[in-house]
Chains A and B, each alone.
Chain A
């Protein structure tokens, strides 16, 4: 237990196990605690159970065993509405995430579903769009934006719900280098807990001081991102490979 005065950690996963209805077991007891304001990367090869883990965080999948708590609130049926407000998931394909006819309505969807209306709703939408620098595009249909812009709007759609924790599924996929950098700047500027699922290792190093490796349904390692990436044997063991010419030892990671 933490000190009584400390706030509850943003995310507390303990002993989480899950098997799909077809019998395939994806998670074998995952333990992960993310403190408030931390940025943590979840690394792991394809099929390690990363997406399955993400879908447990807001109760889309029901834990077979173990518990998930978001800021102290257990993920259970009766808390689902509040849990889904607290956990903002940005999915990999922004076309899946942006389903409303205009950017503004899409960003408004979450808060409106939670009951916000009128001027308050409008303000929440504009604040979220400003945070990602997309306020000029509010009336545009999402399919007329570039991929990088759509990804940023997707981030805004969950920011509008003022989440406790932002969960990003492969945030850098399909982005060109400039969009990658812009998204990184945005994520760094946010005052929110971030859990980033990725196999883009340099991006994890750039953004997240701490990383965990999810492999075969368990957390296989949990350490400073730079230390993990420098451990050649560990990396090989979990099919994690750095891009050609990238040496994590030579990178000076900015503090915070």
Chain B
């Protein structure tokens, strides 16, 4: 709980990828994902090339493969969904290891699996080479509504404070002999959540007061302006441009 200096996804390091301005990386990942999604699913080789491209980025960023693969686990629910598709999608049937499966289902599963994995892979790479704080600065630079950026940065700042409050309440509960066992105690837990909400709400009011006292009038002052040179943009665009070339090949071949 709040042990690390940065968030768990981030892997500290200095590499050309780490050093790119956050908004360049955000745009590059977004474009890459759009390109991947618009590739025809029959062009199986194209997806292999995409994976190779991501591996190239990971190598430049000096992120070990094991680190990336472990973080890909987040995808598991989607994989489960994809694995169901060959059995539930109607259409032409074929036999796989003696089990009847549907052909459109198989293609659908492959589609979800390949595109999903590539998208998650690109995002994991982004997260492991960019600190949360600079991600927010990047989003701010990309003109995401400032209110959303503010909400996100308050989440980072107060996440630990609120978890800590929850932990203290839980200790207080247990010190008075309460142990949550089964459905009968859900009421107590629900009241805890209610109390936590009220405490957080009141903290929000106090924080707002402190902000207003220091001249807040509705918009966050820009303290760190992130900028990118033309070279940095060009460097960041290597990934989506190469991917686009692969995609176009996939449509023509």
Contacts and interface: CB of A to CB of B under 8 A. Distances in A.
A, B co-complexed: yes
Interface of A: 55, 58, 60, 81, 84-85, 87, 89, 91, 93, 95-97, 99-102, 105, 108-110, 112-114, 121, 140-144, 157-158, 161
B221 A99 contact: no
A181 B206 CA distance: 27
Interface string B204-242: 001101111111110001111000000000000000000
Contacts of B206: 91, 93, 96
Interface in B191-215: 203, 206-207, 209-215
B69 interface: no
Contacts of B215: 81, 84-85, 110, 113-114, 161
B157 interface: yes
A96 B157 contact: no
A143 B161 contact: yes
A112 B223 contact: yes
B133 interface: yes
Nearest to B4: A144
Interface residue SS majority, chain A: helix
Contact of A97 (B153, B154, B210, B222): B210
Contacts of A84: 212-215
A99 B210 contact: yes
A141 B157 contact: yes
A113 B210 contact: no
15 contacts: A58-B213, A60-B212, A81-B215, A81-B217, A87-B213, A91-B210, A96-B209, A99-B207, A101-B156, A102-B133, A108-B223, A109-B211, A121-B223, A142-B157, A144-B2
Contacts of B154: 99
B160 interface: yes
A93 B136 CA distance: 26
Given A96-B207, A140-B5, 6 more contacts: A55-B209, A84-B215, A96-B203, A99-B211, A113-B214, A161-B215
Contact of A101 (B153, B203, B217, B221): B153
A117 to B, nearest CB: 8
A55 B210 CA distance: 10
Contacts of B213: 58, 60, 84, 87, 89, 91
